[in-house]
Structure 1
């Protein structure tokens, strides 16, 4: 009897992925084309221009202060409740969970880990680049501004660039980047652009970010999306390494699994046939034979089937003194014929 190891949930996931180990042919991986390189260079130049304009306290900083004094949350107070909910689309935790759930289903259907690994790589780049820029420039937000007209740089803040805007660009833009068809990529690109634009303007409406923070957040998120094709070789290597690690882990578990214990098979007793005779008993020595009961006569006893039948001679009736034998009286009463 063979005993099989119970499959865990991770084994079932990898077994599903093993059905088609190679990436489907209709899903293309974006390349770092010349057009993309031009867009990346232009976006990087825009990024550096925004930073320089804020550092030198140019017209962009004056525009930031004008928007802050306008106080949009007081001018259009009726939509405040909607903006409070809409800005959640730029928070890293909820958006990462929603997009990861969708890409996890995509990975399950397409039998590849590339969607989830691409999301992880983009979020890692987002945390490194945007986090480093926030800590490096140290700009304070509108609610914590100290001097009117200043750029509020280097004061220990973490507001520049806008993390909500950059996260919205990357998280929703990754869906367009991983789209299977050009048409789906165009529609998802437009939807992600509108969503990230709305998230950025929501932060300006609530007064949590300067307008220049939002512009730099858009540029930071777009730079990450444009640079993802450079990360594709590393994503492919990571996927291969994960599958190799899975195979080694499965082989090690298979080698350390205990050998199956053979279970004895109980034979079903055959019914005794009619012609089968009772087996003879082994003779028992006299020294260990039990003592004969008192009511039996001493000596060997034979079975009834081994005894010689005895036929009694004569009549079984007891003798009677007055009874005569049959035939004697009949002969005396019979008349004598002749002469």
Structure 2
């Protein structure tokens, strides 16, 4: 059974009123506190302070050797912080919400947050160039500017942004509260897992949490740009749907019956090209071709008949001449 997309769109309910987060005083205070914590972590690592000493103590403790039974489970759990799988899962859910609510704001908010994440975290990673615990060369060193790319932790920051965007886009206070708790637990678990596996220093994880939280807290400043992009996309969509509806209405006004007569193409140079009645050749004077025809008709070229319509020059049958005398057997 065919689904009429236009009827479906006409029957859809009006989208609910979605509350867009604003930069309130509380959010600005949280943003300032998180930014101060972010800068403090960077300064502590640059100065090789007590935080770097703590990094080495945790690394030399080797948690993956202390609790080897958790290794198999945590290898799969840490995937919740990888950008590719999590972005696909969250985008699928937000795409369904966009279809139900007749808006593309959830997908645009996710794309904006991931873009900011790649720019900010990637720039700090490349700029500081810190090596990971498995590649450390000198005990007690911060391992900075050595060509690495693990500070801050991308897994941790990505877990904060991709799962936290669900709480950011929640439509009710109750859903926002539950989703905030769930996303926080996932982000904390992913960061702790990277320390357990030995792929990140503890300070990497702390800075990853702060980096992801900064993006979520600053996202309301991007809402005007997201709104303009949404209006432009919806305008293009409406234009395309209007064209499809117009074509559909034209097709409905002039339906073609199945199995009905179809026009037969006429080849030039045949008798069907001219509707003017013609007199047979030699009409009015037997034995004389063209008698009784006007001069204009005489100058017109004669139509060529199809081979199957031509009169055979010889009578049908065998073309072998008859025998002059019977053949006698002997």
TM-score normalized with structure 2 length? 0.71
Q: Classify 1:262/1:172 alpha carbon distance in 2 versus 1 (closer, same or farther; 3 Å).
A: closer
Structure 2: distance between partners of 1:44 and 1:98: 29
**Which residue of structure 1 aligns with residue 85 of structure 2?**
94
Task: Select which of 176, 183, 198 maps to 2:167.
Answer: 176
Give runs of aligned pairs for residues 116-135 of structure 1, distance below 5 A.
116-135=107-126
**Which residue of structure 2 aligns with residue 277 of structure 1?**
none
Q: Classify 1:263/1:74 alpha carbon distance in 2 versus 1 (closer, same or farther; 3 Å).
A: closer
- Decide whether the 8 Å contact of 2:15 with 2:100 is kept in 1: no
Give runs of aligned pairs for residues 63-74 of structure 1, distance below 5 A.
63-74=54-65
Which 4+ residue blocks in structure 1 deviate beyond 3 angstroms? Answer: 11-20, 247-257, 259-266
1:84 match: secondary structure:
helix
Structure 2: distance between partners of 1:158 and 1:82: 26
Alpha-carbon deviation of 1:15? 7.2
Kindly name which structure, 1 or 2, has the bigger radius of gyration based on alpha carbons.
Answer: 1
- Decide whether the 8 Å contact of 1:162 with 1:216 is kept in 2: yes
Q: Any stretches of 5+ residues in structure 2 without a counterpart?
A: 262-282, 285-330
Give runs of aligned pairs for residues 100-115 of structure 1, distance below 5 A.
100-115=91-106
Task: Select which of 183, 191, 195 maps to 1:192.
Answer: 183
Structure 1: distance between partners of 2:174 and 2:243: 46
Structure 2: distance between partners of 1:192 and 1:262: 55
Alpha-carbon deviation of 1:54? 0.2
- Decide whether the 8 Å contact of 1:119 with 1:174 is kept in 2: yes
**Which residue of structure 2 aligns with residue 56 of structure 1?**
47
Structure 2: distance between partners of 1:14 and 1:97: 30
Alpha-carbon deviation of 1:17? 9.4
**Which residue of structure 2 aligns with residue 138 of structure 1?**
129
RMSD (Å) for aligned C-alpha atoms: 2.9
Structure 2: distance between partners of 1:193 and 1:217: 13
**1:111-156 Cα deviation digits (max 9, x unpaired):** 2111111111111111111111111111000001111111111111
**Which residue of structure 1 aligns with residue 37 of structure 2?**
46
